[in-house]
Structure formats: structure tokens, C-alpha cells
Structure 1
């Protein structure tokens, strides 16, 4: 059995750059022929991926696996929390949903969850030269310190060094770093082996006095300053990325209503990056403006999110959109909303009961305890375009609408529905826009005549390579090698 080295990246805040730095370090190590695996002990996110072993992990860890040249595995994120209310979440252990818990109940469950975390880490540690770990949020969240399994609690348990990263673009970067360090225990402070400052714009010489002060004040080295990357994209762990680059030509207008429990909104990243698409996320209190295509996204609490959609007045706007010839796409939970009825007899996503759907497709859905988790491929029935994606859903749908499927799957199953008038498409497949032929077919269906081909996987691979280049150019690689046990 090979004993590897574990190195952990923690952040001063959420969205400080932890996921991005782990991606960068995984690809940097892979370039050198080092066998490396990503790991996140505990993740709270509604963006998830299906693993090679048929489990479910955070989407960020799937991207990190790509950077390491690996297929995603459930050991890379042994505890995944998928919020289904303001105080509760579905708890997924080793890729499988075990229960929904309120926050207080989960706090008591952490000792059990920690054993799952340590078991996964042991397996990775024995199989890989380096295990590159991502923390969650901040290690200085005092209210969460007791029983912590996501940050320093894990680092202490496996006795690994820590890099602390902060985002200078937020402002107050020195206060973030020094303040975080001050709130740690003495043993935790000793575990921090250096700082990385993320997303710097400007002349580094002007920042140098601050870096010198930081090193003198803390006695810890600054391992480097990563510059702000323009035209850069990696799939978000949870926050919706609404940036749109300059797009000059005729655009297809696409709307996505933002539901309180929207899930896998990374489905829309290929559209956001497409030069011919104007993608807008429409939030609470905003009307749905005129568009060519409305997409109802996935949801972790479909009945509650459908009630929210109605309360916003969006149901009437969708009906008007269809009357004027607009196209409507439902993905996963969005598919379920389009039917006649939604049934949750076991109370999996809230109070047990049933709700009327939008009634736009002749189908109904029953939520069942066993979640469907599959990586799939097949043909989109629009233009017979090749498509691949993944299914993550507890709902089982039935009805006459499914006799006109949206996708013919390679395993012989049929998925989704296309309305008789061709205005509505519904599917359980996440990630369908990542397949260039399927994306082009859907954009033509929605009204774009001449579609440019955009290879989303190539764009993601390009940006992973750019991150590894930044490690080489801007970080202290000799110290990083030491921390990884390579020298």
C-alpha cells in the first residue's frame, strides 16, 4: 500500500478561489506525471455530478477530477449536502442519499459523517501520490467549529498542511488573511504553511509592501499572487454566474427563472458562453421579458419551487410566451413541472402531498425513495443529434406525452417528451448543452438559423490549462513540491 501526501486548500471566505486553486494544482501535478486525486470532505451544493461508480458528488469535484485526468468517483466528495429548505438538506454519503435532516440533527450526525470522510480519504491516500483537498467556506466560522469535518477538523484528523487563499478582488485581503489566522487555535495556525492571494489586478510592485508586512506579521510565506483572469470560466459550485461577454451579432434570447432550490444550473454554462445566445437569469420580483426560449431548470424541491413560480406571476408569462410562438424547455424538475400532477407521497422534498403542475404536457410524476443516478448517451430526437448527459432525479414520470420522446437513449430507454405542436421539449438529462451537436439542434429549434459550433469541453480544458500555467508562472512551485512531499 502506497502512503500518499495530503495537502489542503482552505479559504478566508466562500468563493475565495479554493475550487479554482485545487483545479490548478491538480493539473499542474498531472503535467509532472504525479498521480493526484481531488477530495472535498463535505460539500453543500445543488450542482452535482454522477460518478463512474454510480454515485453523486459536487460538480466542482468532477471538474477537479478532469484536471487530474480521472473519472469522478464518490470518494472524491464523501459527504454532499443538498439543501431542500432554509434549515434542512438531503444528506448524501459515499454518493448515496441516506436521509433528509434539519441542521441540528445533522450537527449530531457529524461524528458518523466524519467516519465516512476518513474512510474515503484512506482509500484515496493509498491509491494516489497526492490527495489535493478543498475546504468549505472558512475555517474561522466559530459557530461551526465544534465537530468540524470540512476544514481544520479534517486537517487535524489526518495531520495535513494547509494553504490559505483569499480573494483580493473583494477588498480587505490582509484583514481576511490575518483575521482568519487569529481565529484559529495554535495547532491550526501552525498547520497553515502559506498564503495565496487570488484575482489581483494591477502592478504587483504596489502590492509588495503589503506582502512583506503580511509575512512579517504572521511569520508565514506568501506562496504567490494569482492574477485576475479575463474570459475565464469554471463551473460554479453553487453561486449562479451571470456574466455575459460582449456579443455583437443577432442573439437568441434565453430566459431561466431562478427558483429558490434551483439545481444543476451549470446546465446553462454552455449557453452563457455561446457567442449567439443572450442568457438571462430572472430573479424574484422580476417579470419574464420577451424571449425566444424559456428554460425551466432542475429543482431540489419541485412542488415548493412551482408554488414560488406561480407566486411570481411567471405561469401567466409562460402561457403568454407560448401563445406568441415561443419555445419552452423543461429539464429534470422543469420536466416534472410541465405535467398535470406532481406527487410526493413520502414527503421526500417537503410535506407529503400532491400539487397540480402547469398542465402543458400529458404526464404526471411520483417522487420515489430510490434516486435515479446515471451517466447516459443517445440521440436527441430533434435532428437525431448525438447527446450525452446525466440523470439525477427521484421522480418517475408516466403519461401519454412520453410517447413522443425527446431523447432515444443508447441503453434502449426513451427520455422526456416533445409536445405535438413542437413548442415544448422536456427531458431528465442534465448537461445536454455540453454536446455540440445537441446544443446546435436545440438552438435551431429555438429559432437561431445559423448556429456557430462551440465545444464546451474544449473551453473548459483550455481554462484548466490556463490555471496550471498560472501556477508555474506566479506561485512558489518549489515550496509547493515540498508541501506535496515531492522533494
Structure 2
């Protein structure tokens, strides 16, 4: 059995990668596999039954899915679809999320309430999975968090609950970089009940540094303990840093490399408590002359910044209050008075206005609060969610912003483009609803030219992402037994 034997199979073969923990690299492995399999001539689709992330993308149907699945779709060479991530949870508080089902907002749910809601979402998950299997040769499925969270097994739709319901074979992914990979693999195998364990077909070691032959004794130990074969040892892929991160845990890592003196354009981003779509800013960190800093809670804004960015947020009023609690409003006004520039994206744009209202309590308790007053606009949050893709980026927001400064729309776009942003009279304060805006090289260069007139052209970000996907696929294809994966995927239940 080889990959070529999967071509034309309907419904498609299927394979699921589940992690021994969170942040073990499942999303990027799926992207790498998707690109590698696509380059072998297969029609590939990514799938994640349930995702929790405030980084989202607009799909071809005008819905929304997790950003990671949009990247995986790109790896397959296809447009993202709501069926690639039928359940998306967007955290609004520590214990509650907005629930998006097949691209549309279903409502809000607390963590405990969601446990009861999960089983009712399984039909939508199965419907989306079946749709993808009808159009592909193979569907590569990504689990969520850890497969060993047996305390959440009842009603599960994200990991083994989905795998059992669909008969999808599972490959475990262990992260050796964090340590304890042998224990995490054996522990996961030991915790699973027999019905779940029967679907485990092997494992992949991820983020390996050094000589992989040193892991050979561990392969024998793991086979003795679990009976599972090692399907590949994937080395640390440095180019993966050029791809968008899915979770805010990535913000704990340095955003840029090299001495600050070598990066004269200084940009600071307020790390809001419910920060969303922070991958909007990846293109700035890729610029060789830009030092991008995420300012952590409890830290003051550096005094030498050229630009301060207020990013997106899943809870505008709550994060506006959070911003003030940190004293960032005072720092921001000082920055502005020194002649610094300010950019607000989506919720950050709303915060820059005179007032933000949430009369129906869409994002939290009903209420309103004065904004920062740097733009002459006002925002009212309502039930209607705008999901729209355009030539300059995509919109994803629950709010309408109006006021005199919208008469100076920013960014400037093609004739007839609806105004989605505003600029202050002196052009130093900018805001807009567009996500992905800075991924456009010409828009990013124009913004940086305002800060440093006459600067060099800079990087080509989209080409950099494509190159990184190819590098990831090359690495995965070189160390993972793709034909063995084909044999495993072939065992997926024909009909679900």
C-alpha cells in the first residue's frame, strides 16, 4: 500500500494526529503533511473537529474557522472552508467562550455548560467531516489539546470521542523538546480505555534536536510498553517560526531576533488579556529593520517606540478596562504627545474612539465606557457579526463604528471600497477593522514609510510563508514514513 493507492478513493482515507499535550506541534505537522501529500498528487483536506482560539479566518462561505486550519488549507492549495473546523470556541473570559458552529455564531457558553453542549454538536462535526471525505483522497485530522484528558472523555468531539465515532485511526504526537516524551506517550496509552487504545496505530516524535539515533533505545522501550511503532522523528524546524502561531502561548517567546540597534524601527503591541488575531502582526516581526515587542501586563510602554499597536480582542470593553488597569492609557497618551504614531486593529480601533457601547451584553455584561479619544468615532457592539473578505484583508467583528474621522478612511483602497477604518486629522492615529492588512507588502511598506521615510523595501511576507510551508513539507517527507501513513489512513471506516 502506497500513497498512490489512495488516489480517487471515496470517501477519502483519513488519519488523525492527536497530541500527548497542548502545543506539541500538531497544527504545523498537519500543515507539513498536507503540503507533502499535495505535492505527491493527492487531493488533501485538513480537519479539526473542535478548536479553541481567538485567531480566526474568514472562509469562502463567509463563515469563520481557526487560523491554523486556514493555514493548513493553504498548504493543500485550496480556499478555507467552514467544514475544516466545524466547532470553534473563542474565549471571552477565563471560563466562557463564544461558540461558532460551521462558521456561524451559535451563542456563548461557560466551560461547565459547554460540557453538556458538546454531544449536541457532534452531528455538525460528522456532517462537515463527511463533506470533506466526499471531495478528497485523504483527510488529515488534528486533535485538540491532549488525548489523555480522560476526565473530559464523556461527550468528547475533539479527540478520541471523534475518532471512535468515525473509526478514524490515530497517530500520537509527542514533543521531545519539552522533556518527558517517553512518559507522556506511555502515560497516554495507559490512560486510554481499550476501545480508544485500539485506534492508536503509532506515534511521531516532534521537535527533536541533535542526533536522532540517540532515540533508538527509546523506540524499543516504547514498543515493549505500548506495541506502537515509531513513524518518524521530526527535527526542530527553524523555518516554522515564519508561520503563524495558533495560540497566545506563542507570545511568551521573543518576537524578533538580533540586537535592537540593528532594528531601528521600534513597534510595541499591547498584550491585551483577550488578544485576538495577533498573527496580523507577524509580517512586522519579519521585517529586518523592525523591532516588534509585545508589552506584557505590568510593564510600561517603552519610551522610544515609533508605533504603538492596539490589537484585536475578543472582549473590547473588558480589555479597555484591562488597558487602563495596566496604566497603558497614560503611557499611550505620553507616546502620542511625543509625536508617536498609534494603530488600532479591530477591537483596538474601537478602543481608540470616544466611546464603546455594548448595550445587549454581547461580549460581556451590558455597558459602555469612554474610549481613549484619539479618534473622533464611536462604536456600538450589536448581535450582527460582520464576516467579509475583500481586496485588502478580511473583516470579523461585532460592532459598527461611526464618526467624523471615518471621513478620512484608512487604508486607502480601490475605488468604491467601503470605509472600514479612520485616520486622525494629522495622520498619526490610524484604525481599521481589516485583519490580514499588514500581510500585503505594499500596505505594510506604506505604514512603515510613515515612521521612517525613505526606508528600504523590506521583506516579501507571503512568499516567505510559502517558502516556510515547502521547507516544513520537505522535512516531514524526509523523516516520516508517508507510505506507512497511507496504510494506516486506509483503515478508516468507509462511511461515518
TM bracket (short chain)? over 0.9
Aligned to 1:470: 475
Matched, 1:352 2:366: yes
Aligned to 1:35: 43
The 5 Å alignment of 1:424-439 reads 424-439=429-444
* Aligned partner of 1:261 among 270, 274, 280: 274
Task: Report the RMSD for the aligned CA atoms in angstroms.
Answer: 1.5
Aligned to 1:73: 81
Aligned to 1:138: 146
Look up the SS of the partner of 1:232 in the other structure.
helix
Say whether the 8 Å CA contact 1:331–1:427 is kept in structure 2: yes
5+ residue gaps, structure 1: 378-387
Q: What displacement does 1:431 show? A: 1.0
Which whole-Å CA distance do the structure 1 matches of 2:11 and 2:213 have between them?
41
Which whole-Å CA distance do the structure 2 matches of 1:231 and 1:44 have between them?
25
Matched, 1:177 2:185: yes
What TM-score, normalized by structure 1, do the two folds share?
A: 0.95
Look up the SS of the partner of 1:84 in the other structure.
strand
- Please identify, of 199-208 and 393-402, the stretch whose mean Cα deviation from structure 2 is larger: 199-208
Say whether the 8 Å CA contact 1:443–1:451 is kept in structure 2: no
What TM-score, normalized by structure 2, do the two folds share?
A: 0.94
Aligned to 1:236: 245
Aligned to 2:426: 421
Matched, 1:251 2:264: yes
Which whole-Å CA distance do the structure 1 matches of 2:395 and 2:483 have between them?
42
Which whole-Å CA distance do the structure 1 matches of 2:478 and 2:406 have between them?
53
Look up the SS of the partner of 1:281 in the other structure.
strand
| Shift in alpha-carbon separation, 1:55–1:409, aligned structure 2, 3 A | farther
* Aligned partner of 1:282 among 272, 286, 295: 295
Look up the SS of the partner of 1:10 in the other structure.
strand
Say whether the 8 Å CA contact 1:11–1:135 is kept in structure 2: yes
Aligned to 2:175: 167
Aligned to 2:198: 190
Look up the SS of the partner of 1:368 in the other structure.
coil
Which whole-Å CA distance do the structure 2 matches of 1:21 and 1:283 have between them?
29
Q: What displacement does 1:409 show? A: 4.5
Look up the SS of the partner of 2:219 in the other structure.
helix
Say whether the 8 Å CA contact 1:328–1:423 is kept in structure 2: yes
The 5 Å alignment of 1:95-114 reads 95-114=103-122
5+ residue gaps, structure 2: 1-8, 492-496
Which whole-Å CA distance do the structure 1 matches of 2:153 and 2:486 have between them?
30
Say whether the 8 Å CA contact 2:119–2:156 is kept in structure 1: no
Aligned to 2:400: 396
Say whether the 8 Å CA contact 1:409–1:415 is kept in structure 2: no
Look up the SS of the partner of 1:355 in the other structure.
strand
Look up the SS of the partner of 1:339 in the other structure.
coil
Q: What displacement does 1:480 show? A: 1.4
Look up the SS of the partner of 1:349 in the other structure.
coil
Aligned to 1:340: 354
Which whole-Å CA distance do the structure 2 matches of 1:282 and 1:262 have between them?
12
Say whether the 8 Å CA contact 2:207–2:236 is kept in structure 1: yes
* Aligned partner of 2:212 among 190, 196, 204: 204
- Residues 410-451 of structure 1: CA deviation (Å, up to 9, x unaligned): 453112111111111111111111101111111111236313
Look up the SS of the partner of 2:134 in the other structure.
helix
* Aligned partner of 2:411 among 403, 407, 415: 407
Say whether the 8 Å CA contact 1:390–1:431 is kept in structure 2: yes
Which whole-Å CA distance do the structure 2 matches of 1:409 and 1:449 have between them?
22
Q: What displacement does 1:273 show? A: 1.6
Say whether the 8 Å CA contact 2:263–2:288 is kept in structure 1: no
* Aligned partner of 1:361 among 375, 383, 386: 375
Aligned to 2:5: none
Give the count of matched residue pairs: 477
Which whole-Å CA distance do the structure 2 matches of 1:103 and 1:219 have between them?
36
Aligned to 1:449: 454
Aligned to 1:383: none
